Amino acid sequence: MIISTNELQNYVGRVTMVDGSFDPLHDGHIAYFSEAKKLGNPVLCNIASDEWTKSKHTVLLGAPQRAVVIDAIKFVDFVHISAGSTA
């Protein structure tokens, strides 16, 4: 489920959070999500904004599209697009 910034407060202390740009998404990211899921909590994936990603490299897939793709991964329960840096 893709959630808004306003909804984040509902998940504090209830999820395992992973974050990054995930652009491009690769098998190491899937392993990261899988290991996070093994901790026993729902997994919230925080995706870096296009603005932040552009500071590192050319954006290959925009944040809204990355959110849809990551939301379809079985290890991830919630997806949030960050308004700023994920660092």
CATH number for the domain that contains residue 56 = 3.40.50.620
Strand ranges across the sheet with 78-81? 2-3, 78-81, 43-47, 16-20
The answer to whether position 86 is within a domain reads: no
26-55: per-residue pLDDT in tens? 999 999 999 999 999 999 999 999 999 999
Q: What pLDDT is attached to residue 83?
A: 87
58-87: per-residue pLDDT in tens? 999 999 999 999 999 999 999 999 986 655
The answer to whether position 61 is within a domain reads: yes
Q: What pLDDT is attached to residue 87?
A: 54
Long-range contacts of 25-31 (CB under 8 A, 24+ apart): 25/61, 25/66, 25/69, 25/70, 30/73, 30/75
The pTM of this model reads: 0.91
What stretches of 1-87 show up as alpha helix (H) in DSSP? 27-37, 50-54, 63-71
Q: Which domain holds residue 22?
A: 2-7+14-81
Total domain count, the chain: 1
* Phi, psi of 71, deg, nearest 5: -60, -25
